[in-house]
């Protein structure tokens, strides 16, 4: 009787160059995706910060103008070169309003504040009673 002996060759342990390149490509795609997500999150955070600064500046100017409003008919302007790059325009105009009986309310004015930088602008309005 004769027996046939099969020889099984073992594959060398480790990864082939092709497998390493595929793993590297997948890793680079994941890193690129994370970088894009981080950039988007950073831009959103900077946008929120800038909006909050604008709102804070508007609130500050509203408080100031309630104590010292500009003259009606002539807007008060603070140019950007004198105010850290932010242009502010404040104006007061009469605001016609009537009460429930239909008589006009005297002394009611609308204060409008507009602020602007190079690319962003915002505004706020409030009614004030000037005696």
pLDDT, tens digit only, all 131 positions of the chain: 555 555 566 666 777 889 999 999 999 999 999 999 999 999 999 999 988 988 898 899 888 988 888 888 889 999 988 888 889 999 999 888 888 888 888 888 899 999 998 888 889 998 888 76
- Position 8 scores a pLDDT of 61
- Position 5 scores a pLDDT of 59
Contact assessment for residue 65 and residue 77, using Cβ atoms and an 8 Å cutoff: no
List, in sequence order, every residue forming a beta bridge with 115; answer none if it has no partner.
88, 122
DSSP 18-60: HHHHHHHHHHHHHHHHHHHHHHHHHHHHHHHHHHHHHHHHHHH
What is the C-alpha separation between 126 and 109, in angstroms, rounded?
A: 8
* Six token digits for residue 55: 């709102």
- Position 50 scores a pLDDT of 86
Residues 6+ apart with CB under 8 A from 23: 15
pTM above 0.85, yes or no: no
Supply the range of the domain harboring residue 89: 17-129
- Write the burial class of residue 92 (CB in 10 Å: 0-12 exposed, 13-18 middle, 19+ buried): buried
Number of domains in the chain: 1
- Position 6 scores a pLDDT of 58
Whether residue 88 is contained in a domain is answered as: yes
Whether residue 74 is contained in a domain is answered as: yes
- Position 120 scores a pLDDT of 85
- Position 119 scores a pLDDT of 83
């Amino acid at each position: 009787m004769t027996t046939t002996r099969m020889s099984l060759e073992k594959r060398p342990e480790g990864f082939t160059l092709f497998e390493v390149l595929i793993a590297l490509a997948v890793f680079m795609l994941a890193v690129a995706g994370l970088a894009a997500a981080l950039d988007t999150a950073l831009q959103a955070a900077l946008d929120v910060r800038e909006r909050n600064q604008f709102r804070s500046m508007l609130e500050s100017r509203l408080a100031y103008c309630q104590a010292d409003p500009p003259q009606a008919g002539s807007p008060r302007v603070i140019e950007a070169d004198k105010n850290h790059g932010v242009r502010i325009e404040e104006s007061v105009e009469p605001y016609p309003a009537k009460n429930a009986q239909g008589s006009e309310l005297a002394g009611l004015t609308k204060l409008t504040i507009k602020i602007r930088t190079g690319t962003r602008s915002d505004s706020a309005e409030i009614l004030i009673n000037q005696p």
